[in-house]
Amino acid sequence: MIRLTIDEQEVSVPEGTMIVDAAAKVGIDVPIYCYHQALGPLGACRMCLVEVEKMPKLVTGCTTAVSEGMVVHTKGPRVEKGRQGVLEFLLINHPLDCPVCDKGGECYLQDYAFEYGPSKGRFQEPKIQKVKDGPINEFVLIDQERCVLCQRCVRFMSEYVGEGQLLLEGRGVETVVTTVDHEPAQSHFTGNVIDLCPVGALLSAPYNHKGRPWNIDRQTTICPQCPVGCPSKMTTRESHIIRMEGRPVPNRDWGWLCDRGRFGYDFGYHPLRILDSTVQGQSVSSAQAMRDTAQWMKETIRDHGFGSIGFVMGGHFTSEEAYWIKNFAQDVAHTSELATIRNVPGYLPITLNGTFEDLEKTDMTVFVGVDPYEAVPVVHLKLRDRLRHFPHLKVVGVGPRKLTVDTLPGTDYIVPSEDEAAFFAQALLLAAGEDPTAEMLAQKVKDYPLPIDSTTLKSLGESLLKAEHLTLLWDGENPQMEQIFKALAQLREAPTAVLPTFGPVNWRGYEKAGIPVRYEELRRLLTKAKNGDIRMLVLWGSDLMREFPDRVLAQEALAAVDYVVSAQIRPPLDMPYVDALLPVAAWGEVEGSYVNMEARVAIAAAGVQPPGQCRPTKSYMAGWARLFQQAFKVEEEWDLFADTEGDLIPRHGNGGDEMMPQAVERPQLPEDPGQWKVIRGDLVWENGIPSEILEPRFTPFVGRIHPLEAEALNIGPEGGYVDIETAAGTVSLDVRADSSIPERTLWVPRSSHYDWNVLLNEVRQIKRREEVRSL
């Protein structure tokens, strides 16, 4: 630790700390524009001038590292004159159009101008004219005249994200920030530059001119779009969410968001939003819908006894809502038939659940079936951050296609999803030799044929065992992987952390609330429905036909029951079977907690009123209970945070048994290796939450095939339509070429507007479709 004095205050900081950060530690604010801790020193803007005793000139606090005994003054006439000078320079070519600028009131330039700025402008010459309101892309606008050339945006995109889509063009006072060939920037992370820009040069296009600091509300919340649950801020005005911003959490999170999360906030008032109650196809009043559905429940219980109603959680509800549903189901509807919608069968015991802190320490990261860039984008950024600090980071992809990307390069092992566990079991067996755990794990798959040679497997196994801090990201597609994770935890002494990337986003919250989340529970529940043991289904946000991989079972269950009640924010695919469709309040409209993929609890704020007839889950439960003439307390004490481990769900599972690995089951060999294979993946853009703002960025061609295959089908780089003949009929699909997909393989996103779960059926042929499908 280095000790120094800043403005008469003593401070101790680690070696290498910059003066500005040391000052911040004791609450002294040194103004900065170009510096950002995540990006490192640059020294371009010169705003952070401070005086250091024994140094002849003022120095920039952002580029000067502390040294023992240093005496720093951040105030005083010299410093003030220096800063005033810099500020005046920044203003001479600045348009000073604060009244029409979105950043007005939230702008560092304004703030510092107020604090240090000249009282009157001395600059009389014409200002340099540059582009105003030019596009960075569909979501981000640039006003080059307001830009102070701090380079934060350019450095973030090229150094941090690694996707060089912004650049400095020109030199000197003519320098501007622009995009490559002046074409729209395509990255998933472009919106962050809005937060990073210290002035009003980079603005959110959808937010532009929608709000001013005095007529908006800003609330602390989290993003609900994927299991990362990024800390964010929500801006609301007149009951509309009009902006999402990142929210840095000191020492934990830089506050990055992906564009999906930042700009996809408009589902609340999307035209598809369900605003009315519908019973048997008729639009009815909310009260009527409550009465009818309550009546059905009563009838069902009366005719078929306790346990004849099944509840399936899904969607984006809070943990509290899940808790009320569970209580309602048990206490009022007298059923314990509860499940959570799942689109993959995997489950992760809490004991193994890692956190993002593991990503900051990891030396080896394995992507099992998942490409984080697509599924959980900010995790990809967190790994980029790790890579910048630790260039030796080993990245490995194991799954049915290439999972690593150029910006996070690594080694890929292409194995079918169903073979993933066998692959790891063999690798561990080869590396761990006689170890009984490894022996046991691999006993059924020892000689299972894999397309990877044993030398390669062995060395991968050795890396897995040797890694000092192993993290694994897992899509949950192959449930046998659970055994691998348990085995790794046993075989390794160093930390092993698994981060589940599957949904629904708040499944851990549902689990914590007491709703079963394992896939088998849902399968069991649906089978009972199909067999007539369950006679009514209440689908709370879940859409079985869209989400459950076994479409046939879902359909049979829906068809077999007497009543289907579905609470949704958008029309479900289940619709033909739905007897009552209930409009329900969504994220942003109710306050409550979410548990993310780290099993960390965070609160989402209620910023706006639910639109139309949408009611919070709470009102439905309380209302139904009243109709049952039963007391039902929704205000009941339940505190997710009551545990001792802060905001993390405690890691102790249900004892040792849960952690004992079992032998990996032998996968079935595919009947016809020449046949088309259908593989699935998560794509946050295709998570199904509707957004008009994002419309221009939703890729029309979502299915993916190998470039050679595309060529054979005469599909150009822009994509094309194909007909897919399956055992269950012909499906049409929009596909494009993607070199990460193996040959004879079709990739489809889960839970999209595609019938991805039908495509599971044996694909016989894929043909180019000539006419363009009208959407």
Partner 1 sequence: MKPEWNQWAQEAKQQFPEANSSLLPLLYRIQHAEGWLSDETIRDVASLLGLTTQYVESVASFYSLFYRQKVGRNVVHVCVGLSCALAGSDSVMEHLEHKLGIREGQTTADGEYTLLEAECLAACDLAPVIQRNLRFVGHVDPENVGRVLSDDGKEVNS
Partner 2 sequence: MSQQYYLLRNREVPDIDQMPVYLAHGGYQALRKALNDFKPEELVDMVKKSGLRGRGGAGFPTGMKWGFLPNDGRKRYLVVNSDEAEPGTFKDREIIEHNPHQLIEGIIISSYATKAREAFIYCRGEFLFGSEQLNRAVREAYEQGFLGENILGTGFSLDLNVYRGAGAYICGEESALLESLEGKRGNPRLKPPFPAIAGLYGGPTVINNVETIANVPVIVSKGADWYTSMGTAKSPGLKIFSVSGRVQRPGNYEIPLATPLSTLINDYAGGMLPGRQLKAVIPGGSSVPLLTPDKVDTPLDYESILQAGSMLGSGGCIVLDDHVCIVGATARLVRFYREESCGKCTPCREGTYWMTDILERLEHGLGTLEDLDTLADVADNIGGKCFCPLGDASLGVLVSALQHFHEEFVAHVEQHACPMGERLYDTVNN
| Alpha carbon separation from 250 to 36, 41, 88, 515 (Å, rounded) | 13, 19, 31, 33
The answer to whether 54 contacts partner 2 (rule: CB under 8 A) is no
Q: Are strands 592-595 and 601-604 parallel, antiparallel or unpaired?
A: antiparallel
Give residues 172-231 in contact with partner 2 (rule: CB under 8 A).
Answer: 172-175
- 57 contact choice in partner 1, partner 2, ligand FES, none (CB below 5 to 8 Å, kind-dependent): partner 2
- 85 contact choice in ligand FES, partner 2, partner 1, none (CB below 5 to 8 Å, kind-dependent): partner 2
Helix 551-560 vs helix 519-530: crossing angle, to nearest 10: 40
Of the candidates 514, 508, 504, 541, the residue with the CA atom closest to the CA atom of residue 326: 514
- Using left for φ > 0, alpha for ψ between -120 and 50, and beta otherwise, residue 187 falls in beta
Residue 183 or 636 with smaller CB distance to partner 1: 183
Say how many C-beta atoms besides its own lie within 10 A of residue 399's C-beta. Answer: 27
12 bridge partner residues: 3
Please select the residue that binds partner 1; options are 93, 110, 165, 308, rule is CB under 8 A: 165
- Check the CA dihedral 433-435-436-442 and report its sign: negative
Say how many C-beta atoms besides its own lie within 10 A of residue 414's C-beta. Answer: 17
Structure tokens at 155: 């450095």
Please select the residue that binds partner 2; options are 54, 122, 209, 392, rule is CB under 8 A: 122
Q: How far is the CB of 36 from ligand FES (least distance, A)?
A: 9
Q: Which span (117-125, 295-303, 632-640, 674-682) binds partner 2, by CB under 8 A?
A: 117-125
Q: How far is the CB of 82 from ligand FES (least distance, A)?
A: 11
Residue 89 or 698 with smaller CB distance to partner 2: 89
Structure tokens at 559: 């068809």
> Measured between alpha carbons, how far is 200 from 428 in angstroms, rounded to an integer?
54
Say how many C-beta atoms besides its own lie within 10 A of residue 742's C-beta. Answer: 17
Helix (H) or strand (E) holding 325: helix 319-327
- 148 contact choice in ligand FES, partner 2, partner 1, none (CB below 5 to 8 Å, kind-dependent): partner 2
The answer to whether 46 contacts ligand FES (rule: CB under 6 A) is yes
Say how many C-beta atoms besides its own lie within 10 A of residue 477's C-beta. Answer: 25
Beta-strand ranges (E) seen in 358-399 are 364-368, 394-399
The answer to whether 168 contacts partner 2 (rule: CB under 8 A) is yes
Half-sphere exposure for 564 (CA within 13 Å, toward CB): 29
Q: How far is the CB of 113 from ligand FES (least distance, A)?
A: 16
Residues found in the chain: 775
- 246 contact choice in partner 2, partner 1, ligand FES, none (CB below 5 to 8 Å, kind-dependent): none
Residue 119 or 644 with smaller CB distance to partner 2: 119
Please select the residue that binds partner 2; options are 171, 209, 302, 392, rule is CB under 8 A: 171
> Measured between alpha carbons, how far is 575 from 544 in angstroms, rounded to an integer?
10
Site of tokens 């009243």: 626
Residue 83 or 546 with smaller CB distance to ligand FES: 83
Q: How far is the CB of 98 from partner 2 (least distance, A)?
A: 19
Q: How far is the CB of 185 from partner 1 (least distance, A)?
A: 9
Binding mask of the shown chain, residues 72 to 91, with x at each position contacting partner 2 by CB under 8 A: ---------xx-xxx-xxx-
Residue 37 or 619 with smaller CB distance to ligand FES: 37
The answer to whether 557 contacts ligand FES (rule: CB under 6 A) is no
Beta-strand ranges (E) seen in 212-300 are 217-222, 231-237, 240-246, 277-279, 282-284
End-to-end CA distance of the chain: 63
Please select the residue that binds ligand FES; options are 23, 44, 513, 564, rule is CB under 6 A: 44
Q: How far is the CB of 34 from ligand FES (least distance, A)?
A: 3
Residue nearest to ligand FES (CB): 62
Give 443's contacts (C-beta < 8 A, 6+ positions apart): 663
> Measured between alpha carbons, how far is 341 from 325 in angstroms, rounded to an integer?
14
Binding mask of the shown chain, residues 123 to 162, with x at each position contacting partner 1 by CB under 8 A: -----------------------------------x----
Residue 84 or 288 with smaller CB distance to partner 2: 84
> Measured between alpha carbons, how far is 206 from 191 in angstroms, rounded to an integer?
11
The answer to whether 660 contacts partner 2 (rule: CB under 8 A) is no
CB 501, CB 508: distance < 8 Å: no
Give 543's contacts (C-beta < 8 A, 6+ positions apart): 314, 341, 566, 568, 572, 573, 574
The answer to whether 63 contacts partner 2 (rule: CB under 8 A) is yes
The answer to whether 370 contacts ligand FES (rule: CB under 6 A) is no
Q: How far is the CB of 493 from ligand FES (least distance, A)?
A: 44
Please select the residue that binds partner 1; options are 166, 322, 379, 599, rule is CB under 8 A: 166
Binding mask of the shown chain, residues 178 to 197, with x at each position contacting partner 1 by CB under 8 A: --xx----------------
Q: How far is the CB of 63 from partner 2 (least distance, A)?
A: 6
> Measured between alpha carbons, how far is 72 from 82 in angstroms, rounded to an integer?
15
Give residues 3-42 in contact with ligand FES (rule: CB under 6 A).
Answer: 32-35
339 bridge partner residues: 312
Q: Are strands 394-399 and 364-368 parallel, antiparallel or unpaired?
A: parallel
- 169 contact choice in partner 2, ligand FES, partner 1, none (CB below 5 to 8 Å, kind-dependent): partner 1
The answer to whether 48 contacts ligand FES (rule: CB under 6 A) is yes
| Alpha carbon separation from 282 to 296, 560, 568, 579 (Å, rounded) | 16, 22, 16, 10
- 58 contact choice in partner 2, ligand FES, partner 1, none (CB below 5 to 8 Å, kind-dependent): partner 2
The answer to whether 45 contacts ligand FES (rule: CB under 6 A) is yes
Q: How many residues form the binding site for ligand FES (CB under 6 A)?
A: 12
Please select the residue that binds partner 1; options are 26, 55, 128, 167, rule is CB under 8 A: 167
| Alpha carbon separation from 252 to 247, 249, 505, 595 (Å, rounded) | 11, 5, 20, 16
Q: Which span (57-65, 156-164, 233-241, 693-701) binds partner 2, by CB under 8 A?
A: 57-65
Say how many C-beta atoms besides its own lie within 10 A of residue 218's C-beta. Answer: 17
Residue 47 or 257 with smaller CB distance to ligand FES: 47
Residue 167 or 559 with smaller CB distance to partner 2: 167
Q: Are strands 71-73 and 49-52 parallel, antiparallel or unpaired?
A: antiparallel
Give residues 130-159 in contact with partner 2 (rule: CB under 8 A).
Answer: 148-149, 151
The angle subtended at Cα 511 by Cα 622 and Cα 513, nearest 5°, is: 35
- 180 contact choice in ligand FES, partner 2, partner 1, none (CB below 5 to 8 Å, kind-dependent): partner 1
Q: How far is the CB of 246 from ligand FES (least distance, A)?
A: 20
> What's the gap between Cα 251 and its chain centre?
20
- 35 contact choice in partner 2, ligand FES, partner 1, none (CB below 5 to 8 Å, kind-dependent): ligand FES
| Alpha carbon separation from 279 to 275, 319, 575, 576, 578 (Å, rounded) | 13, 28, 11, 12, 9
Say how many C-beta atoms besides its own lie within 10 A of residue 217's C-beta. Answer: 14
Helix (H) or strand (E) holding 304: helix 286-304
> Measured between alpha carbons, how far is 648 from 159 in angstroms, rounded to an integer?
31
Q: How far is the CB of 32 from partner 1 (least distance, A)?
A: 24
The answer to whether 748 contacts partner 2 (rule: CB under 8 A) is no
The answer to whether 194 contacts ligand FES (rule: CB under 6 A) is no
Binding mask of the shown chain, residues 59 to 98, with x at each position contacting ligand FES by CB under 6 A: -x-x------------------------------------
Binding site for partner 1 (CB under 8 A): 158, 164-171, 180-181
Binding site for partner 2 (CB under 8 A): 41-47, 49, 56-58, 63, 81-82, 84-86, 88-90, 92-93, 122-125, 128, 148-149, 151, 168, 170-175
Binding site for ligand FES (CB under 6 A): 32-35, 43-48, 60, 62
